[in-house]
Amino acid sequence: MGNGLEMLPKPMLKNKTKMSNAATVWEVFIQSKNGLAHKHVGNVHAEDKEMALQNARDLYTRRNEGSCIWVVKSEHIVSSVPEDEESFFDPSNDKVYRHPTFYNLPDGAKHI
């Protein structure tokens, strides 16, 4: 019977890295303040990691919006696809016991 997955159209990202002029693309993640998680802000073009870091700093932290920058070559990013959504993400929504509010406290219990 099959589950139809083999017929799913691949995501439509066309890879045109064959052009000799094309610079490498890097995704940029900024940690705006110590203690916060890094956030994806966009991409930069650069040929090597040192220049990628500098370009990211120049473009995305011009007004001091960062304390730490990560750059990753776009080709190294592995992403889930929307079709995975159901199997990857749905199940935890109805596993009630995974959520931190799943407990009963005896009445009168204090400081807990």
Which spans of this chain sit near other proteins (rule: CB under 8 A)? Answer: 4, 7-9, 11-14, 16-17, 19, 21-25, 42-48, 50-51, 54-55, 58-59, 62, 79, 81-82
CA Rg value for the chain: 22
Alpha carbon of 45 to those of 8, 35, 56, 112: distances in Å?
32, 28, 9, 51
Nearer to other proteins, 45 or 99 (CB): 45
CB of 105 to other proteins, least distance (A): 37
Q: List all residues 6 or more positions away from 64 whose beta carbon is below 8 Å from its beta carbon.
A: none
CB of 74 to other proteins, least distance (A): 9
CB of 16 to other proteins, least distance (A): 5
CA distance 3 to 39: 36
